Amino acid sequence: MTVLSGVVRSPTALMLALLLLASALRVHRLGEQSLWYDEGVAHAHSLRTLPELIPHLQRNVHVPAYFTVLGWWQDFTGSSEFALRALSALFSVSSVAWTYALGRRLANPQAGLAAAALATLNSFSIYYAQEARMYAMLAAVAGASMWLFAGWLRSPPLRGRRLSAVALGLVNALGLYTHVAYALVIAAQVALAALSLGGRMLRESRGEGTIRLGLPLLADGVLANTLTLLLFLPWLPTALPQLSAQPNLSQSIATAEFLPRLLGVLALGVTYEWSAGISTVAIGLLLIFGLLPSRRLRSARLLPPVWLLVSVGIYLYLELTTRYLRFLLPAQLAVALLLGRGAWMLWTLEIRSRSTFLRALSRIVTAAAFGALLLLQIEGLGALYHGAEFQRDDVRGLVARIESDLKADDAIVVSAAGFSEVFAYYYQGAAPVYGLPASSDGAETRTQVLEIIAAHDRLHVIFYGAEEQDPERIIESTLNLNAFEISDSWVDDMRFAQYKGGAVPLIQQRAGFLFGEGITLESYALGARVVTPGDVLPAQLTWRANAALGRRYKVFLQLLDEDGRLAAQRDSEPAGGSAKTTSWPVDETIVDNHALAVPRDLPAGDYTLIAGLYDISDPSARLPVEGSTYVELGTVTLQ
């Protein structure tokens, strides 16, 4: 019993237990999800030498430290999904340790343990611990840096502080080489150093100290930041153009709406939904007590709130909002420290009346508030591991789907050049993979797409991040005009389409069919009228709007057997959705290419191909044509 009591009271034993729990939470289901786009890019970067890597990084805002470390890591662990993400998990566990160490340095072991417990269970931290990207490393380096910074402020003058300043400069340089968002951490340290120096000068003006004690602090601060700048200087000419050219893709959101959401994420995690109630009260109460002054813990009060306020203030000034919350992962440590200190301050509240009841009440309130936060964090873990919102794009599943359908002369096209890197992680087949656009030259991209269409019978196309990668939609529009779309579906955030390419001989026929009172099918052209199971049947429809159209319509193509039963079907807005009927100019022709897939198990025989239009909001509302709801385009023989 005595041994057990000693373990419970031992901060070291409790911290080891928290680290074991943090490790378990971060490796749970670590390799089950597919790598997604950014993780695939990170893996590809990690395989490159530094001279090979630099040109790739110059195209975005990334820096080389994480990719270099990930490359070294793979030399020992391999490159499975689990192995790649395990590095981030390790960094995340170390950030829990740094949270404890920093809380202990600023306050005491109990406050450090409380902060570490919140960091352990925070789903914001766990999410990026399970992703092969640099953000867990960013938070870990930030925690180490703040621990050094706090020690530097408290170190004795001259040699002890000078060594701390040198170590701080080195770690901050590593932070900048991890991600440029690390500048938020340095900005917080500059603000804290200025406050510390200002306080010393104020005390000197009151006769409570001497300015000579502040001058070494200033000199060492200049030394640390100069060392950081000198070490980062080789990358600075690359970083500045990157930052100025990088577009801000954040969704506009009111600050009053964003701040509560941000505090919820930083305090509890990404699975937390802000709502009035015990969570609001608990967070608010512990934050208030975390900010209270203490004669014993004067140094503990300023670092976490200044770190948080400077980071969030700059973040809001740059109008980054929810899209880039990962840049604030280091600030999650600051919130944990604030809440942990608040829990300790409330638990040890000094009550003048020395009332046993009031002291017990303060501890009950502390246990209730802190326990509520932990329970909310635990409750969110199920959603983090299993909720659809937190599942990454299933590239692995999409590759398997494509491989099962590949034929000779097929090709694979990915509309984000970087996507070919995560695709190549899973696909080692013989079919060529084209990453487009290869350049920002639209004419060159169009020419490349036309060459790919001409060279291959079928194209399996993945559209990803088109707004960023191909904002003018040159790839899609060229495919829709010059190839024949077979299918179109979504797999998570990836749009997957198949097209019929190659030389397609078409037999044109005049039509003149009037659909409703506003759309004329002027002509149509079909490919081969004799097909085999698994083939595709190309069809080109030429439309004209007789008046401005206020509704969106879908085109349907169907194969009917000899008894009029449906055998195959394709539905799509015109031109693969790129020529919506509401955008049709009056009296101008619209070329609309389709390809109807013939099922592999369809019996041989003669089939009738029909076409029609229906309201996209009501599929049963077909437009009338020639006294029917469709027109017959001809007979197709299946051998």
In this structure, the number of other CB atoms found within 10 A of the CB of residue 307 comes to 28
Mean pLDDT of the region 44-61:
89
Mean pLDDT of the region 87-92:
98
Please give the mean pLDDT across all residues of the chain.
Answer: 90
- Looking at residue 206, what is its pLDDT? 65
- Looking at residue 100, what is its pLDDT? 98
| DSSP string for residues in 217-284 | HHHHHHHHHHHHHHHHGGGHHHHHHHHHH----PPP--HHHHHHHHHHHHHT-TT----SSHHHHHHH
- Looking at residue 488, what is its pLDDT? 93
User: What is d(CA 220, CA 149) in angstroms, rounded to the nearest whole number?
Assistant: 11
Judge if 167 and 283 occupy the same domain. Answer: yes
For residue 625, the surrounding DSSP H or E stretch is none
User: What is d(CA 97, CA 26) in angstroms, rounded to the nearest whole number?
Assistant: 14
Q: Has residue 244 been placed in a domain?
A: no
- Looking at residue 245, what is its pLDDT? 65
User: What is d(CA 146, CA 142) in angstroms, rounded to the nearest whole number?
Assistant: 6
- Looking at residue 204, what is its pLDDT? 66
Least confident of 1-5, 29-33, 47-51, 150-154: 1-5
- Nearest partner of 35 among 128, 131, 125, judged by Cα: 131
Judge if 341 and 467 occupy the same domain. Answer: no
In this structure, the number of other CB atoms found within 10 A of the CB of residue 308 comes to 23
Judge if 432 and 482 occupy the same domain. Answer: yes
Q: Which tokens go with 86? A: 């395990």
Q: What is the dihedral of CA 384, 283, 109, 307, to 10 degrees?
A: 90
Contacts of 334 (CB under 8 A, 6+ apart): 266, 303, 304, 305, 307, 308, 311
Least confident of 55-64, 81-90, 106-115, 333-342: 55-64
- Looking at residue 220, what is its pLDDT? 85
Judge if 80 and 196 occupy the same domain. Answer: yes
Judge if 443 and 519 occupy the same domain. Answer: no
Q: Has residue 240 been placed in a domain?
A: no
| Cβ atoms of 365 and 145 closer than 8 Å | no
- Looking at residue 1, what is its pLDDT? 37
Domain termination residue (choose one: 390, 412, 440): 390
Judge if 303 and 401 occupy the same domain. Answer: no
- Looking at residue 7, what is its pLDDT? 42
What percent of the chain has a predicted confidence (pLDDT) above 70?
92
Name the residue with higher pLDDT: 245 or 70.
Answer: 70
Mean pLDDT of the region 46-60:
88
Q: Flag whether pLDDT at 352 surpasses 70.
A: no
Mean pLDDT of the region 146-168:
82
- Looking at residue 3, what is its pLDDT? 40
Name the residue with higher pLDDT: 272 or 113.
Answer: 113
Q: How confident is the model at residue 22 (pLDDT cuts 50, 70, 90)?
A: very high
Q: Has residue 242 been placed in a domain?
A: no
Q: Which CATH number covers residue 531? A: 2.70.50.60
User: What is d(CA 164, CA 172) in angstroms, rounded to the nearest whole number?
Assistant: 12
Judge if 550 and 626 occupy the same domain. Answer: yes
Q: Has residue 358 been placed in a domain?
A: yes
Please give the order of strands across the beta sheet that includes 458-463: 433-435, 410-414, 458-463, 494-500, 484-491
Judge if 193 and 151 occupy the same domain. Answer: yes
- Nearest partner of 167 among 224, 90, 226, judged by Cα: 224
Q: Has residue 131 been placed in a domain?
A: yes
- Looking at residue 2, what is its pLDDT? 44
Q: Has residue 241 been placed in a domain?
A: no
Judge if 88 and 53 occupy the same domain. Answer: yes
Domain termination residue (choose one: 331, 359, 390): 390
Mean pLDDT of the region 344-355:
75
| Cβ atoms of 586 and 545 closer than 8 Å | yes
Q: How confident is the model at residue 438 (pLDDT cuts 50, 70, 90)?
A: confident
Q: Which CATH number covers residue 442? A: 3.30.110
Q: Flag whether pLDDT at 140 surpasses 70.
A: yes
Least confident of 136-140, 197-201, 323-327, 336-340: 197-201
Cis amide linkage into residue 471, ω under 30° from 0: no
**Total number of domains in the chain:** 3
- Looking at residue 241, what is its pLDDT? 77
As beta bridge partners, residue 571 has 556
Q: How confident is the model at residue 164 (pLDDT cuts 50, 70, 90)?
A: confident
**399 is in which domain, residue-wise?**
395-500
Judge if 618 and 560 occupy the same domain. Answer: yes
- Looking at residue 10, what is its pLDDT? 80
How, if at all, do strands 631-638 and 530-531 pair?
parallel
Mean pLDDT of the region 154-159:
65
As beta bridge partners, residue 435 has 414
Q: Has residue 426 been placed in a domain?
A: yes
Helices (H) and strands (E) in the chain, counts: 23, 15
Mean pLDDT of the region 201-214:
61
- Looking at residue 129, what is its pLDDT? 98
Judge if 517 and 624 occupy the same domain. Answer: yes
| Cβ atoms of 133 and 392 closer than 8 Å | no
Q: pLDDT digits over 502-531, tens only?
A: 888 888 888 899 999 889 999 999 988 899
| Cβ atoms of 549 and 582 closer than 8 Å | yes
Please report, for residues 28, 189, 503, 598, the alpha-carbon distance to residue 432 in angstroms, rounded to integers and kept in the order given: 36, 51, 19, 25
Q: Has residue 246 been placed in a domain?
A: no
- Looking at residue 156, what is its pLDDT? 64
Mean pLDDT of the region 533-560:
94
| 410 phi and psi angles, rounded to 5 deg | -80, 160
Name the residue with higher pLDDT: 154 or 28.
Answer: 28
Q: pLDDT digits over 565-620, tens only?
A: 999 999 999 999 889 999 999 999 999 999 999 999 999 999 999 999 999 999 99
| Cβ atoms of 172 and 152 closer than 8 Å | no
User: What is d(CA 74, CA 509) in angstroms, rounded to the nearest whole number?
Assistant: 61
Domain termination residue (choose one: 475, 500, 525): 500
Judge if 298 and 339 occupy the same domain. Answer: yes
Q: Which tokens go with 427? A: 């696909």
